Amino acid sequence: MPKPPERLFLDPKKADLQIEAIYAWVCVEPAGGEGIPAAHIAGYPMPLIGADLERMRSLRPYAEQLRRTTGYPVRLIRFGVREVLEELP
What does the pLDDT average to over 1-10?
61
C-alpha dist (Å) from residue 74 to 20, 40, 51, 78: 23, 17, 18, 13
* Domain hosting residue 72, numbered range: 20-76
Report yes or no on 2 lying in a domain. Answer: no
pLDDT of residue 18: 83
**Count of domains forming the chain:** 1
What does the pLDDT average to over 2-28?
76
Closest CA to 76 of 41, 27, 18: 27
Amino acid identity for residue 33 in this structure = G
Using one digit for the tens of pLDDT, what is the confidence trace for 39-57?
999 899 999 999 999 999 9
Report yes or no on 31 lying in a domain. Answer: yes
H or E stretch covering 64: helix 53-70
Using one digit for the tens of pLDDT, what is the confidence trace for 63-78?
999 999 999 999 999 9
